[in-house]
Structure 1
Amino acid sequence: MIKRFLLAAMLASTVIAGSVAFANPVFAADYSKTPNKYVEIGGTRYAYRTIGERGGKPSLVLFQHFTGTMDDWDQRTIEGLSKDREVIVFDNAGIGASGGKSPDSVSGMAKISEQLIDALKLQQVDVLGYSLGGCIVQQILVDRPELIRKTIIVGSGPQGSPGLRVIPDVIAAAVKKSGETGRSLRAILFYTDTERGKAEGAEYLKNINNHLVDAEPPASEETTGAQAKALVTWGSMPDNYAALGRITQPVLIVNGSNDIIAPPPESVVLFQHIPNAQLSLYPDSGHGSLFQHHALFVSQVNTFLDRAE
């Protein structure tokens, strides 16, 4: 029942938009035209995309939110991040263009991610974990800390997070609200109810699921159920404060002022327990804070990643 409900909820939020126009185009690369690449690991083929030039900087690997595919990244944010470095996005097992079966645990997803980084022969990377992706990068920092130079965690929380524990209830309430108001479910979950939030939520929907090559299908019922179990289990486990205290890498933590999926206090907890962390909270924003404030977010990420430690 939960699997069917969550799948229907996420499918209802999918928006197909046309080409994106920028008032002041400054990006050389167009994410909507970035083709898939593939790597085989243990007999399973995984899909990924690269955009931007690596140069002398570590690649920035992005870890997606619950049920999100590579097509669900906001084009403006991806292109902004890739202006100064190589950005790698990928589909974990069982989602998008990747084969295999989705793990139903954060640790299982982290293991696959580690294998992907190894398969791409990347000695050390910077990582950006968004929502579920933020849980995954926390696990990688425990499992394979040598793989990561710097970390950005957005809209996520530590193990034992109350917000992540009740995600099915949050989505149920949003589905009801969407039915009553006619507003997109994705916009309700990711953006605030203010006039600014509604307007920027509508703009965000134009900048996702608009890939012109290798467009991906939405998450299947099986994958949705597995990822939901992983998130709820992560939120129900004992805290990982001791493990967070052993993280030595610099960590930038970002959240919106009104995130209903990973409430801001959970980002504060991460900030309090990771020794070398900094916290940035964005005004009048929800779970999609990095997309709503994409220019500010890109600027802060670039400053954070380029700063000498």
Structure 2
Amino acid sequence: MTLSSYSALPNQRVTAANGIDYAYRDTGPADGDDAGVPLVLLQHFRGNLDNWDPALIDALSPARRVITFDNTGVGGSSGMTPNTVERMAYDAIAFVEALDLGGQVDVLGFSLGSFVAQQIALTRPALVRRLVLASSAPQGAAGMHGWAPEVIGAIGEPETSPEDYLSVFFTPSPAGLQAGGQAARRIYGARGEDRDAATSWATRQAQYDAVCTWGIPDHTKLQRLGCLTMPVFVANGDSDPMILPHYSHLLAGLIPQARVKIYPDAAHGFLFQHHTEFAADVDAFLGGPR
């Protein structure tokens, strides 16, 4: 059975073969209820289980099983957060294998999570049926080596507030400010008890090291994406200051079966702002012909 909302789901744990205890949440139709291929979500920089917008998860889950989790060392999961995307990908694969999801999964990666999703698809292509890359960029793209000072200043300090994230995740237009306020109330206010553990400063440092390494210019890294044969949906907001839409077009152009969509008057959190439209687009993509 599906619970009323993502904000009401219990925190669960599973121990993988790598010895890590992963915290996760699981919603949507159960196995045996024609749930189809599970959709596994990979979270953004410094994000934990509670940083997903419940409205987005609730919109994605009626037609399929949706699983969110904390990767190694993040939030309620054990271990030390690795400082490379490649290692994060291996840890994510270990989590998926621990749940024994029956073969293939669909993967939706957001921001840093989209880097990890790309690496999963490259490392273990047989595991990934379809791939959704939100606010993403390919490894080795010129200009991606670290984020603009105002961006990392807003979301990379030891103490950050919802207002700091809103300045990066939403545009300053009236529509953007309204959407940001609504998303903040859902993300920070909908769940009062049994919240996930906060991410640590050590996790922040390791993740930003991984982001910066991913962004070191290297043309040969771009060529790897031609190996991906599964369908890929690339999406972003038209005003994302963190990962510019230019990189979404570049990414989609490097992947043989990729399509791209840019959402209007939206920044890094376009998938929260346009959660109904984005979820419908993802649903159509995951259920479409190969």
* TM-score (norm: length of structure 1): 0.86
Instruction: Give the % identical residues.
Output: 38
Q: How do 1:255-274 and structure 2 match up within 5 A?
A: 255-274=236-255
1:229–1:183 Cα change, 3 Å: closer
Q: Which of 176, 195, 203 is residue 215 of structure 1 equivalent to?
A: 195
Residue in 2 that maps onto 1:277: 258
The Cα of 1:162 is off from its aligned counterpart by 4.7
Residues 1:47 and 2:28 are matched in the alignment: no
Q: Secondary structure at the match of 1:184?
A: helix
Residue in 2 that maps onto 1:19: none
Q: Which of 129, 135, 139 is residue 149 of structure 1 equivalent to?
A: 129
Q: 54-63 or 157-166, which moves further after superposition?
A: 157-166
Provide structure 2 residue ranges, at least 5 long, that are not aligned to the other structure.
Answer: 156-160
Residue in 2 that maps onto 1:61: 40
Deviations 1:90-129 (A, max 9, x none): 0011111101000000001000001111111121000000
Deviations 1:182-204 (A, max 9, x none): 98111101011111111111111
Residues 1:169 and 2:145 are matched in the alignment: no
Residue in 2 that maps onto 1:308: 289
The Cα of 1:74 is off from its aligned counterpart by 0.3
1:275–1:77 Cα change, 3 Å: same
Provide structure 1 residue ranges, at least 5 long, that are not aligned to the other structure.
Answer: 1-26, 176-181
Alpha-carbon distance in structure 1 between the residues aligned to 2:198 and 2:142: 27
1:79–1:56 Cα change, 3 Å: closer
Q: Secondary structure at the match of 2:259?
A: strand
The Cα of 1:163 is off from its aligned counterpart by 5.5
The Cα of 1:39 is off from its aligned counterpart by 1.0
> What amino acid is the match of 2:211?
L
CA contact (8 A) 2:142 2:215 kept: yes
Q: 213-222 or 105-114, which moves further after superposition?
A: 213-222
Alpha-carbon distance in structure 1 between the residues aligned to 2:69 and 2:226: 29
Q: Secondary structure at the match of 1:231?
A: helix
Residues 1:250 and 2:231 are matched in the alignment: yes
Alpha-carbon distance in structure 2 between the residues aligned to 1:93 and 1:195: 38
Residue in 2 that maps onto 1:14: none
Residue in 2 that maps onto 1:32: 7
Alpha-carbon distance in structure 2 between the residues aligned to 1:152 and 1:198: 26
Q: How do 1:182-197 and structure 2 match up within 5 A?
A: 184-197=163-176
CA contact (8 A) 2:111 2:134 kept: yes
Alpha-carbon distance in structure 1 between the residues aligned to 2:107 and 2:206: 23
> What amino acid is the match of 1:52?
G
Residue in 2 that maps onto 1:17: none
Aligned-pair Cα RMSD in Å:
1.9
Residue in 2 that maps onto 1:7: none
1:183–1:307 Cα change, 3 Å: closer
Residue in 1 that maps onto 2:52: 73
CA contact (8 A) 2:3 2:27 kept: no
CA contact (8 A) 1:163 1:263 kept: no
The structure, 1 or 2, with the larger RCO (C-alpha pairs under 8 Å, 6+ apart) is 1
> What amino acid is the match of 1:299?
A
Residues 1:87 and 2:66 are matched in the alignment: yes
Residues 1:135 and 2:115 are matched in the alignment: yes
Residue in 2 that maps onto 1:104: 83
The Cα of 1:87 is off from its aligned counterpart by 0.1
Alpha-carbon distance in structure 2 between the residues aligned to 1:255 and 1:67: 19
